C-alpha cells in the first residue's frame, strides 16, 4: 500500500507523515517519515493521531474499524480522505468501499468515472468526490515496451479477491517452461503467506528454481516488473488497471475462484496457450478486441495522462486550507 501514498506524497507541498497500523507495515523503506506508535486499540490510534494533530488524514480503507472493533474519535475531528490502493474491476470492490466508508470519509478520490459514479450514488451527499486517476501508474504512461519477450504473471489474491491463482499458477508455468519467453512469476503478497495460496506458491517456487527462463518476482512493488514486461497475464487484479496505462497487451484468465465474470479489458481466455502469447506479442490485439478495449477504457474513465499523483496531491492539500 505504500506505493500509492508515495506516488501522491512526491507532489505534496506540506509536511506529511505515515502512521502504520500493523507491525508488519512498519519500517518500510519509504520517502515518507513514519510516526512511531504501537496500535493495539482504538485509544492507541486516537492518541497517535491527536498527538500528530494533522490538518487532514488520508487512509485507503477502514482497517482500524475492523481490527480494533470500534470507531476512532479522530474521524469526527479531522477531514478524512479516502485514497484507493488498487483499482480492481469486477470484484465488488466499490460496494465494499461505499458500505464501509460512508460514515467516515469527507472526500473520496476516485480512480475513474466508473468509481466516481457509484460513489455519488452510494455515499452521503456530504462526501465530496474527485476523479484523480491512479497515482501509482503515472510512471507507466507512454513507456515503450522492452521488446524482449518478457511476460509478467500477476493475478489477484485468492482469499480476498477470489482470483485465478490457485487455478492457473502451475498451468502458467507449464505454458512457459523452457520456451524463448522470460516469465516473471509474481503471486500476490497474501498468497505467499496465507493458505491455500502459500502451498501453491511454495510448489511453484521450487519448480522455478529449475527453470532457466522463469524468475520468481520478489520486488516490493510491481512497477519495475511492469516496465520490463511486454505482456501481462492476470485476471481482474488492481494491477490490470495500472497495466492499461502501458497500452501493451493483456491476457485475462477467467478461471477465477469467485466464479464472477471477468470484465473484458484485454484478451480473455479460459485456456492459456503459447499460440495466443505469440500472436499478441507479434501483432497486438486483433481489431475487434482493440475496439472493445477502447470502449472499456472509455467506460472506466480513468485519466491516463501521468498526472494522477499531482491531482490527488492537490485534493489532499486542499483539505488543509
pLDDT tens, residue by residue, 182-193: 999 999 999 999
| pLDDT (0 to 100) of residue 291 | 97
Distance from C-alpha of 212 to C-alpha of 95, rounded to nearest angstrom: 43
Spatial contact of 101 and 115, defined as CB atoms under 8 Å apart: no
Read off the DSSP letter of residue 206.
H
Beta bridge partners, 131, equal 110
Which of 73, 27, 111 has the alpha carbon at shortest distance from 37? 27
Choose between 48 and 90: higher pLDDT. 48
Mean pLDDT of 57-72: 78
* CB burial readout 185-203, b (16+ within 10 A) else e: bbbbebbbeeeebeebbee
Mean pLDDT of 208-217: 98
Query: Is the pLDDT at 26 greater than 90, yes or no?
Result: no
Confidence of residue 154 (pLDDT cuts 50, 70, 90): very high
Spatial contact of 233 and 247, defined as CB atoms under 8 Å apart: no
Place of cell 481489431: 287
Mean pLDDT of 248-262: 94
Confidence of residue 91 (pLDDT cuts 50, 70, 90): confident
Query: For 122-142, how does the pLDDT look when each residue is reduced to its tens digit (9 = 90+)?
Result: 999 999 999 999 999 999 998
Helix residue ranges, H only, the chain: 2-9, 42-52, 63-68, 93-101, 113-122, 165-176, 197-208, 223-228, 238-243, 274-283, 287-300, 308-318
Mean pLDDT of 25-34: 84
Query: Is the pLDDT at 62 greater than 80, yes or no?
Result: no
Confidence of residue 168 (pLDDT cuts 50, 70, 90): very high
Q: Which residues contact 93 (CB under 8 A, 6 or more apart)?
A: 86, 87
- Strand, helix or coil at 115? helix
Confidence of residue 90 (pLDDT cuts 50, 70, 90): confident
Instruction: Record the cell numbers describing residue 312, joined without a space.
Output: 490527488
Instruction: Record the cell numbers describing residue 41, joined without a space.
Output: 486499540
Mean pLDDT of 5-30: 88
- What does each C-alpha distance from 171 to 92, 270, 273, 276 come to in angstroms? 27, 11, 10, 14
| pLDDT (0 to 100) of residue 28 | 78
User: Which range has the worst mean pLDDT, 60-64, 200-204, 213-217?
Assistant: 60-64
Confidence of residue 65 (pLDDT cuts 50, 70, 90): low
Distance from C-alpha of 94 to C-alpha of 303, rounded to nearest angstrom: 18
Query: Is the pLDDT at 101 greater than 90, yes or no?
Result: no
- φ/ψ of 150, rounded to 5, equals -110, 130
Query: Is the pLDDT at 213 greater than 90, yes or no?
Result: yes
Choose between 36 and 303: higher pLDDT. 303
Mean pLDDT of 243-254: 97
Amino acid at each position: 500500500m505504500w506505493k500509492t501514498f508515495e506516488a501522491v506524497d512526491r507532489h505534496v507541498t506540506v509536511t506529511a507523515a505515515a502512521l502504520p497500523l500493523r507491525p508488519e507495515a512498519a519500517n518500510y523503506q519509504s520517502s515518507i517519515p513514519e510516526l512511531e506508535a504501537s496500535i493495539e486499540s482504538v485509544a492507541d490510534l486516537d492518541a497517535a493521531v491527536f498527538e500528530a494533530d494533522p490538518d487532514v488524514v488520508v487512509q485507503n480503507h477502514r482497517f482500524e474499524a475492523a481490527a480494533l472493533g470500534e470507531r476512532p474519535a479522530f474521524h469526527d475531528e479531522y477531514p478524512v480522505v479516502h485514497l484507493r490502493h488498487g483499482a480492481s474491476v469486477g470484484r465488488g470492490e466499490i460496494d465494499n468501499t461505499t458500505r464501509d466508508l460512508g460514515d467516515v470519509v469527507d472526500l473520496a478520490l476516485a480512480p475513474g468515472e466508473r468509481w466516481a459514479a457509484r460513489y455519488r450514488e452510494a455515499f452521503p451527499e456530504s462526501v465530496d468526490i474527485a476523479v484523480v486517476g491512479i497515482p501509482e501508474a503515472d510512471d507507466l504512461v507512454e513507456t515503450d515496451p522492452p521488446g524482449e519477450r518478457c511476460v509478467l504473471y500477476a493475478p489477484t489474491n485468492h482469499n480476498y479477491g477470489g482470483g485465478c491463482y490457485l487455478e492457473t499458477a502451475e498451468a502458467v508455468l507449464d505454458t512457459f517452461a523452457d520456451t524463448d519467453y522470460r516469465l516473471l512469476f509474481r503471486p500476490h503478497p497474501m498468497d505467499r503467506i496465507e493458505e491455500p495460496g502459500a502451498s501453491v506458491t511454495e510448489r511453484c517456487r521450487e519448480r522455478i528454481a529449475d527453470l532457466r527462463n522463469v524468475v520468481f518476482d520478489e520486488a516490493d512493488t510491481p512497477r519495475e516488473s511492469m516496465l520490463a514486461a511486454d505482456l501481462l497475464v492476470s485476471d481482474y487484479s488492481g494491477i490490470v488497471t495500472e497495466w492499461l496505462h502501458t497500452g501493451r497487451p493483456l491476457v485475462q484468465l477467467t478461471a477465477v475462484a469467485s466464479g464472477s465474470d471477468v470484465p473484458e479489458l484485454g484478451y480473455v481466455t479460459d485456456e492459456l496457450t503459447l499460440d495466443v502469447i505469440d500472436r499478441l506479442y507479434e501483432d497486438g490485439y486483433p481489431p475487434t478486441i482493440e475496439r472493445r478495449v477502447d470502449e472499456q477504457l472509455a467506460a472506466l474513465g480513468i485519466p491516463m495522462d501521468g498526472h494522477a499523483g499531482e491531482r490527488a496531491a492537490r485534493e489532499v492539500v486542499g483539505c488543509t486550507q
